[in-house]
């Protein structure tokens, strides 16, 4: 049965048992193996810092057990008398011309599991694929690194510069109001594990990424920190359905991941499923308002002179308006991860 409601694009904001990819780079030392059951905070891999390429001679016959595949972690070899100079431990890139190319370097950082689940795939130097037991709240982007912590939802009218303090160390903080790079840098300095924001301006994103790069290059690095952006670049309130999920998850342990961008929530969370005809206005003069779908509203010419399809929406404030369908969206019931 085709319903006119299908004219409105649907946003799958909740994903059941999501599959997530955690990015690796050549030289990272993976500890988890396929099939491992993991708990939030488990060490999955040791991150390489400043990876470098080394060429080593092939080992003497029989030193390897079988022929190592690219991506295999090879232990170091001591130098021996004669012409054999030894080799550092590292990840094999490939063998060619009687020599091995390895990615090697120090491993001071850890990649921690952002949620409970199972290791599905290990692609050495590329990614770890996990199936997370729980629900994922869809976002648009994760800036920084995956992490986990207790979810704390700050009130909408709170000023992040005042509300963020060391009592929140280890938490993932939802910042519903205006957020800038300074507030996020402050959160990181307080030992907060991450932030969930509705939107973040391009300038603040660049400042945040630059700050993270400086940390990366520094001798004494701070702990990982992630910023999960649920919307886009322009400030906008959370949709009621999203706010309800965040409120329900407050106090529980959640995770942040970037591929796909999700807030990982506990499996046993009691969530209210939005009504199928519930409509959110995501742009235009009525942005942020919600209501109920009544049907197609026909073609209308907007103020900019563009003619677009509209839908009739009975808004919660009592008005019924014809709003461009491009400005509308609705939330799907719980989707399962591909």
- Residues within the interface to another protein (CB under 8 A): 2-10, 21, 23, 25-27, 51-53, 69-71, 92-97, 101, 103, 123-127, 140, 201-203, 232-234, 259, 282-285, 296, 299, 302-306, 308-309, 324-327
At its nearest, how many Å lie between another protein and the CB of residue 329?
A: 8
Which residue in 246, 179, 233 sits closest to 201, CA to CA? 233
Q: Which is nearer to another protein, 21 or 188 (CB)?
A: 21
At its nearest, how many Å lie between another protein and the CB of residue 80?
A: 26
At its nearest, how many Å lie between another protein and the CB of residue 125?
A: 5
Q: Which is nearer to another protein, 4 or 320 (CB)?
A: 4
Q: Which is nearer to another protein, 8 or 179 (CB)?
A: 8
Q: Which is nearer to another protein, 47 or 282 (CB)?
A: 282
Cα gap 133→18, rounded to integer Å:
8
At its nearest, how many Å lie between another protein and the CB of residue 41?
A: 24
Q: Which is nearer to another protein, 64 or 247 (CB)?
A: 64
């Amino acid at each position: 049965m085709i319903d006119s409601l299908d004219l409105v694009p649907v946003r799958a904001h909740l994903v059941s048992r999501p599959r997530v990819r955690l990015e690796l780079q050549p030289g990272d030392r993976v500890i988890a193996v396929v099939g491992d059951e993991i708990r939030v905070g488990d060490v999955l891999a040791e991150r390489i810092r400043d990876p470098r390429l080394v060429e080593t001679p092939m080992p003497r016959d029989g030193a390897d057990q079988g022929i190592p595949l690219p991506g295999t972690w090879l232990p170091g070899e001591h130098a021996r008398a004669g012409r054999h100079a030894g080799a550092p431990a590292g990840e094999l890139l490939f063998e060619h011309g009687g020599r091995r190319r390895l990615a090697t370097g120090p491993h001071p950082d850890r990649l921690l599991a952002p949620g409970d689940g199972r290791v599905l795939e290990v692609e050495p130097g590329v990614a770890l694929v996990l199936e997370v037991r729980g629900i994922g709240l869809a976002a648009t982007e994760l800036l920084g690194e995956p992490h986990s912590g207790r979810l704390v939802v700050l009130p909408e009218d709170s000023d992040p510069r005042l509300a963020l303090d060391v009592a929140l160390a280890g938490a993932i903080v939802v910042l519903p109001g205006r957020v800038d790079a300074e507030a996020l840098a402050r959160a990181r300095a307080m030992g907060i594990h991450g932030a969930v924001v509705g939107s973040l301006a391009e300038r603040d994103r660049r400042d945040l990424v630059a700050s993270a790069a400086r940390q990366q290059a520094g001798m004494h690095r701070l702990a990982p920190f992630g910023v999960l952006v649920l919307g886009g670049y322009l400030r906008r309130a959370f949709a009621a359905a999203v706010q309800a999920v965040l409120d329900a998850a407050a106090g529980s342990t959640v995770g942040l991941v970037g591929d796909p961008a999700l807030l990982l929530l506990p499996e046993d969370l009691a969530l209210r499923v939005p009504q199928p005809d519930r409509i959110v206005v995501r742009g235009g003069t009525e942005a942020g308002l919600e209501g109920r779908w009544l049907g197609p509203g026909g073609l209308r010419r907007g103020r900019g002179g563009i003619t677009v399809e509209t839908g009739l929406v009975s808004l919660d404030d009592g008005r019924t308006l014809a709003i461009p369908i491009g400005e509308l969206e609705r939330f799907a019931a719980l989707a399962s991860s591909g």
